[in-house]
Chain A
């Protein structure tokens, strides 16, 4: 029975690949591939779950495909199936199937028809990968794909300003969640000395002894999980991205942000529950986040005067309750709650355009003028204050910007000096110096060695922050990103005496491929367009869709999209950083956080948004 699990992952992927090769105009064909694949998937699941229940629903676990194996590290794909998987898979398959059928008509003649179904299938693949995953590595692969497909669907209407802006905003937060996941992966590597599978986490005895041994480290791992889940499920303080992510066609908003994608935070908590079920502090943390969100999001939902935003906050509030349910151990309740909420919000979003007609009609017959409270009472003042705060979404958006992004932007602006050629030359010299030292590493005294790798790690971080805030020259930004990666390798290489050249080669080869492709794209674009600055969105995809696609691929390869060599490199690198290397892990995780953001920001600024050349109709910025 375990052998069948891979089929469920493979099918959506095959569907995705097939859908790539169908010509744009074959709408029926594209749509039927999508609905057939997902429909078959759903039926197969039904049969499978039926047999599984007859067999007294055993927990299934199977290891597949080892990517990389070394003495201390082994990266492998692992699948897993239990009742949580069953529920998420069935709900996911049925909603995706219905939305695919719905979208065939809804998106008719939309210029992005094919793009939509491609992305939908890729999303579905990522979703199944996440819920069938048997270890954190596998889950992370799916998680990453999910983030990318989210980004692609938010910027679906890429010739307008707001979708692109909000897409970047969302992916930046998602990336923060990803880095949290990477960090917890990193830490658990060191603690377990293996890729711990979810199956093993079910072993209460094992987990208990483990927690006793490494109490603080465990808490670190779990807090990282919780942050990742909080971001994915748009809980407080990260809620404001969700309503703003509803930029794509209503159907994609319904499936992503109404139902499946936002509930994955709940899934992550359910999956990791065995790990933290004995830790009261963690339970309190999750319950606090959940209850705070439930209350605040309800308030915000109540004052919303636009339909989709209202549904978004309504859904966030329910997910807050699910957080509480998970922490309390009421998992069956949480699963039923998830199912009901997913269907309800999907449906509400799909019919959201009807609201105008329905409510106006309703009002026609049942309108009652409101009585306004005009007293000057304390209660009224308090209630007004809550109203105003809810209108301003409790300033979460502003806070997020000020606490998270603004300091880094400012820091980036302070780094303007890096632009001069001298600095560049120095950087190159230093790098070669570093390489030189590396080859004679045995002769370098240990304290200096420690300092050096910190130093290089620091440079890597500074460079990528600079790349993130670079506005003038795209080529420079790209160079900075690459330079930062090379410094990072150097830094980590210094760290570990046992560092294998093969590992570096794997990583560097992936990096180089992406870097060079990126450069080719940029040079080509520069040759045609003369200036390629990053001051504002340029929308070059209107004229150069191919270059844009290639550049997107190189960005993705570069930032370590799963299955690229860079991805294995990143994972390997993290396993080489020791658990007490706080500064280095800070530098490198900040670097990884910003590499994807900086690269996608470049992609967005160069290729997306309102086209710079106004010889054809162009959307207003505010629309």
Chain B
């Protein structure tokens, strides 16, 4: 009974230990609180409250290392599954989803062709011990071994409940009675001013009020020996990484909570240590000895180097082969398409266009662009990050807060206010938390109760938009007005300038138009289409909105941009910079709801009569494109028969977005793999199955790569971040994802947990990632390799993404159509193996016959993804 847990896998830990003792010298023989807190914050999940859903690399803490080194190390430390299971890879090889010739090539490249046979047999049939051991939790587990005390079960329910109550944003009717103070001070206040206590015993209670209350002081009582402190704190905080991560994120960004709270990881740790002492006193009496007296092994250096294993090599080969089985096809397609276009007589690009439309680079817009182009072959589409280069805070009419509408790292200096809104906001009585007391509940039962029955019937059989459904179009009132133009620079609010000056507007419009190379040949109408997503009953709805607008619909940005570009003074200034927009050209803002597949256009009243007429025609084209887009999306939804009449499909798609019972209103960024930076022509004609972020860019206008730097910089954090979050949530949905959303319970309006006593679940829920193939992002840039290389090397933060292999990078030589691939700091030519890309005349027929996944296991799910096709 008195044995202690040294490790699950003593050999690897011991070797890790001996490794580390030489290198790290068991680095923290003396405990450095600031350092350890910093380390903890670095490794904890950094997801902020769900209302601000910003995608990011789940293993951001390891980003300084090469991808494979990083993931295997993270796995060794925290026990994550970081690649698919071996039998899944084998299944993918079996069904041909990992192509045999690619597998051979990857093995030859990595191991040399002479070892092909042996590695192939390893991969296909050798038995490996796939058990994942983890370093975390080993020390703290000894409470149970030595004292039969299960601290987690005793401490966590109360700890979570107190944390949730303190941070609560409005679920509880009776709010935490102390406010305006730090977490620990609030607890002290509460303890002092009540007849009962949070604690069960007196020592912990006294300690709370002790003058020199410190982490190390408490650890002295609990652990005794300083060398174990760091390991213990990691064990403790990672036993509930969800809550600790939220606390750490709120500490760093307090304004992500509407109702402000002063909390810090340190406060959380102190309170948890106190609860531990309290419970140990309670169970064991006050005579227990510190933990270090009952263990006889040295502290484990969590971050020591790890052993390399043959299995890791197998994983590397399999994962690379899986990725390249897809990339190879794509690159082959790009190359062939580019060659054929160069050979064919050039279509004159000066032919006047019916209209031009800008969309977000989001891969969900990729299909809509394809459809609109197929319906009106005299239109032109562009892709650019969906905040349309205008960064600002937005204050909706009567709102008490501002919404940030630009990429997360940017802090805008501008404020756009909405005014002249006459519509009243609608309420929904069912959401009132007032029905939980016995008297109000009594009345509610006799009134709301029977109404609930009717509502339930309606919601089940005839879903429709309601106030409680997050409606992308409600983000801004289309009939309201916006303070786009700054009246005078002294017109400020909370240190933000209201509106933009003409100069500021000009810079932004020019920067966007230059970036996408739309500086001449303007069509009479230029659409600026942002996107957002409506969904019902979905705490993760922010994850479906525009990532470039900090997880919100981009409607205001589109409208602001259109208004700027229509501004006569701006046009004049643009003309001086060489961008001559004819007066007959007008910009129209719009919002595409990616779940409901609807578009709303803004400020149509400014259109002149000719353009108004033209818009009417274009609007029909957009309508038809949306029909097709809905049809294309429907193939992945089991509840919709793709072969139904198209209008019916469209209605069914819209219904999904307002259905309470639909956990997949849309599939978000699932299946994203590619990011193409280049002219539309580079991929126009290539069916990419809604898997590619498309950023418009013309190398010709930018021989030096000046604009390219601006374009490439956010691709890592934004597209790479999205891609890696999907990757990790896919391969380990239990630890790195949020698990299935069906049992989720909303905690304090900032997160979800399972059950009433569970840890918060950061990451993506199962319903969002089940269609996703866990492959890294491949960025394809249309430019000369040396320019691309120079560009990505221009800042270390950007370069890190590529040199450490968190995203792949390829360049397409615009003159020769040659492909080169970035590997170990240089571009090397790449000759695609795939040579027969099929041609498909009618994409719709392809979609109708596409296979639906049998189950959501990867080997089945991935077969829903279609290969690359050429289309007309």
Report the minimal beta-carbon distance from B254 to chain A, rounded to whole angstroms. Answer: 14
Instruction: Give the CA-CA distance A369 to B538 in the complex, in Å.
Output: 27
Select from chain B the residue with minimum beta-carbon distance to A247.
Answer: B755
Q: Are A391 and B161 in contact, with the CB atoms below 8 A?
A: yes
Q: Name the B residues within 8 Å of A104 (CB-CB).
A: 661
Which of the 9-residue segments A340-348, A455-463, A508-516, A587-595 touches chain B?
Answer: A340-348
Check A385 for interface membership: any CB of B closer than 8 A. Answer: yes
Check B173 for interface membership: any CB of A closer than 8 A. Answer: yes
Check B511 for interface membership: any CB of A closer than 8 A. Answer: no
Check A544 for interface membership: any CB of B closer than 8 A. Answer: no
Report the minimal beta-carbon distance from B636 to chain A, rounded to whole angstroms. Answer: 11
Q: Are A301 and B437 in contact, with the CB atoms below 8 A?
A: yes
Check B749 for interface membership: any CB of A closer than 8 A. Answer: yes
Q: Are A353 and B436 in contact, with the CB atoms below 8 A?
A: no
Check A623 for interface membership: any CB of B closer than 8 A. Answer: yes
Report the minimal beta-carbon distance from B694 to chain A, rounded to whole angstroms. Answer: 29
Check A209 for interface membership: any CB of B closer than 8 A. Answer: no
Report the minimal beta-carbon distance from B470 to chain A, rounded to whole angstroms. Answer: 4
Q: Are A306 and B460 in contact, with the CB atoms below 8 A?
A: no
Check A366 for interface membership: any CB of B closer than 8 A. Answer: yes
The B contact surface, by secondary structure, is loop
Q: Are A248 and B743 in contact, with the CB atoms below 8 A?
A: yes
Instruction: Give the CA-CA distance A364 to B427 in the complex, in Å.
Output: 13
Within 8 Å by CB of B756, from A243, A251, A295, A384, lies: A243
Q: Are A314 and B435 in contact, with the CB atoms below 8 A?
A: yes
Q: Are A360 and B51 in contact, with the CB atoms below 8 A?
A: yes
Which of the 9-residue segments A158-166, A221-229, A491-499 touches chain B?
Answer: A158-166
Q: Are B436 and A301 in contact, with the CB atoms below 8 A?
A: yes
Q: Are B172 and A302 in contact, with the CB atoms below 8 A?
A: yes
Check A619 for interface membership: any CB of B closer than 8 A. Answer: yes
Q: Are B446 and A249 in contact, with the CB atoms below 8 A?
A: no
Residues of B within 8 Å of A, CB-based: how many? 120
Against A, the Cβ 8 Å flags (1 = close, 0 = not) of B173-199 are 111011110000000001001111110
Check B399 for interface membership: any CB of A closer than 8 A. Answer: yes
Report the minimal beta-carbon distance from B744 to chain A, rounded to whole angstroms. Answer: 6
Which of the 9-residue segments A106-114, A187-195, A558-566 touches chain B?
Answer: A106-114
Q: Are B855 and A619 in contact, with the CB atoms below 8 A?
A: no
Q: Are A356 and B401 in contact, with the CB atoms below 8 A?
A: no
Check B445 for interface membership: any CB of A closer than 8 A. Answer: yes
Q: Are B756 and A615 in contact, with the CB atoms below 8 A?
A: no
Report the minimal beta-carbon distance from B379 to chain A, rounded to whole angstroms. Answer: 35
Q: Name the B residues within 8 Å of A360 (CB-CB).
A: 51, 169, 258, 749
Q: Are B79 and A614 in contact, with the CB atoms below 8 A?
A: yes
Instruction: Give the CA-CA distance A330 to B815 in the complex, in Å.
Output: 88
Instruction: Give the CA-CA distance A218 to B752 in the complex, in Å.
Output: 49
Residues of A within 8 Å of B, CB-based: how many? 110
Select from chain B the residue with minimum beta-carbon distance to A398.
Answer: B200
Against A, the Cβ 8 Å flags (1 = close, 0 = not) of B549-572 are 000000000000000000000000
Check A270 for interface membership: any CB of B closer than 8 A. Answer: no
Instruction: Give the CA-CA distance A619 to B638 in the complex, in Å.
Output: 28
Select from chain B the residue with minimum beta-carbon distance to A371.
Answer: B179
Report the minimal beta-carbon distance from B571 to chain A, rounded to whole angstroms. Answer: 35
Select from chain B the residue with minimum beta-carbon distance to A393.
Answer: B161
Report the minimal beta-carbon distance from A404 to chain B, rounded to whole angstroms. Answer: 17
Report the minimal beta-carbon distance from A615 to chain B, rounded to whole angstroms. Answer: 4
Instruction: Give the CA-CA distance A313 to B435 in the complex, in Å.
Output: 11
Instruction: Give the CA-CA distance A250 to B660 in the complex, in Å.
Output: 12
Q: Name the A residues within 8 Å of B639 (CB-CB).
A: 105, 108
Q: Name the B residues within 8 Å of A580 (CB-CB).
A: none
Instruction: Give the CA-CA distance A392 to B425 in the complex, in Å.
Output: 37
Which of the 9-residue segments B128-136, B292-300, B621-629, B698-706 touches chain A?
Answer: B128-136
Q: Are A358 and B436 in contact, with the CB atoms below 8 A?
A: no
Check B290 for interface membership: any CB of A closer than 8 A. Answer: no
Q: For chain A residues 309-357, which have a beta carbon within 8 Å of chain B?
A: 309-314, 317-318, 320-321, 336-337, 339-344, 346-348, 350-357
Q: Are B195 and A618 in contact, with the CB atoms below 8 A?
A: no
Report the minimal beta-carbon distance from B200 to chain A, rounded to whole angstroms. Answer: 8
Check A425 for interface membership: any CB of B closer than 8 A. Answer: no
Check B377 for interface membership: any CB of A closer than 8 A. Answer: no
Q: Are B661 and A105 in contact, with the CB atoms below 8 A?
A: yes
Q: Are B734 and A619 in contact, with the CB atoms below 8 A?
A: yes
Report the minimal beta-carbon distance from A463 to chain B, rounded to whole angstroms. Answer: 23
Which of the 9-residue segments B65-73, B338-346, B451-459, B517-525 touches chain A?
Answer: B451-459
Q: Name the A residues within 8 Å of B739 (CB-CB).
A: 157, 160, 619, 623
Instruction: Give the CA-CA distance A299 to B173 in the complex, in Å.
Output: 10
Which of the 9-residue segments B108-116, B675-683, B757-765 touches chain A?
Answer: B757-765
Q: Are B638 and A359 in contact, with the CB atoms below 8 A?
A: no
Q: Name the A residues within 8 Å of B460 (CB-CB).
A: 98, 101-102
**Residue among B177, B470, B741, B756 with the most chain A CB within 10 A?**
B756
Given contact pairs A343-B450, A372-B180, A614 touches B132 in the complex (Cβ within 8 A):
yes
Instruction: Give the CA-CA distance A342 to B744 in the complex, in Å.
Output: 21
Check A27 for interface membership: any CB of B closer than 8 A. Answer: yes
Report the minimal beta-carbon distance from A523 to chain B, rounded to whole angstroms. Answer: 25
Given contact pairs A108-B638, A360-B169, A361-B470, A247 touches B195 in the complex (Cβ within 8 A):
no
Check A246 for interface membership: any CB of B closer than 8 A. Answer: yes
Against B, the Cβ 8 Å flags (1 = close, 0 = not) of A382-411 are 111101111110000000000000000000
Within 8 Å by CB of A385, from B195, B441, B538, B749, lies: B195
Q: Name the B residues within 8 Å of A342 (CB-CB).
A: 449
Instruction: Give the CA-CA distance A360 to B854 in the complex, in Å.
Output: 38
Report the minimal beta-carbon distance from B189 to chain A, rounded to whole angstroms. Answer: 8
Q: Name the A residues within 8 Å of B195 (CB-CB).
A: 381-382, 385
Check A524 for interface membership: any CB of B closer than 8 A. Answer: no
Select from chain A the residue with minimum beta-carbon distance to B437.
Answer: A298
Given contact pairs A347-B452, A351-B660, A381-B195, A615 touches B132 in the complex (Cβ within 8 A):
yes
Against A, the Cβ 8 Å flags (1 = close, 0 = not) of B472-489 are 000000000000000000
Instruction: Give the CA-CA distance A247 to B161 in the complex, in Å.
Output: 17
Within 8 Å by CB of A359, from B170, B178, B660, B747, lies: B170
Check B32 for interface membership: any CB of A closer than 8 A. Answer: no
Check A617 for interface membership: any CB of B closer than 8 A. Answer: yes
Q: Name the A residues within 8 Å of B396 (CB-CB).
A: 364-365
Within 8 Å by CB of B431, from A304, A359, A385, A619, lies: A359
**Residue among B179, B436, B639, B761 with the most chain A CB within 10 A?**
B436
Select from chain B the residue with minimum beta-carbon distance to A382.
Answer: B195
Q: Are B735 and A106 in contact, with the CB atoms below 8 A?
A: no
Q: Are A352 and B400 in contact, with the CB atoms below 8 A?
A: no
Instruction: Give the CA-CA distance A389 to B194 in the complex, in Å.
Output: 10
Within 8 Å by CB of A307, from B171, B453, B457, B662, lies: B171
Instruction: Give the CA-CA distance A355 to B198 in the complex, in Å.
Output: 29
Check B372 for interface membership: any CB of A closer than 8 A. Answer: no
Check B513 for interface membership: any CB of A closer than 8 A. Answer: no
Against A, the Cβ 8 Å flags (1 = close, 0 = not) of B646-676 are 0000000000000111111000000000000
Given contact pairs A102-B460, A617-B81, A365 touches B400 in the complex (Cβ within 8 A):
yes
Report the minimal beta-carbon distance from B260 to chain A, rounded to whole angstroms. Answer: 8
Within 8 Å by CB of B131, from A162, A370, A388, A615, lies: A615
Q: Name the A residues within 8 Å of B172 (CB-CB).
A: 302-305, 310
Check B428 for interface membership: any CB of A closer than 8 A. Answer: yes
Q: Which chain A residues have a beta carbon within 8 Å of chain B's beta carbons?
A: 25, 27, 94, 98, 101-110, 156-157, 159-160, 162-163, 166, 243-244, 246-251, 253, 294-295, 297-299, 301-314, 317-318, 320-321, 336-337, 339-344, 346-348, 350-367, 369-370, 372-373, 376, 380-385, 387-392, 613-623
List 15 A-B residue pairs with CB atoms under 8 Å apart, sorted by A's residue number. Answer: A110-B742, A247-B755, A305-B748, A306-B748, A340-B447, A343-B453, A346-B452, A348-B430, A360-B258, A364-B399, A367-B400, A381-B195, A614-B132, A615-B131, A622-B156
Identify 19 new A-B residue pairs, CB closer than 8 A, beyond the known A344-B444, A364-B396, A388-B197.
A25-B854, A107-B742, A157-B740, A163-B743, A163-B754, A246-B756, A250-B744, A297-B438, A350-B537, A355-B431, A357-B468, A360-B51, A360-B749, A363-B258, A385-B195, A614-B131, A617-B81, A621-B152, A622-B240
Q: Which 5 A-B pairs have the closest CB atoms?
A: A340-B449, A314-B436, A340-B445, A384-B194, A347-B452
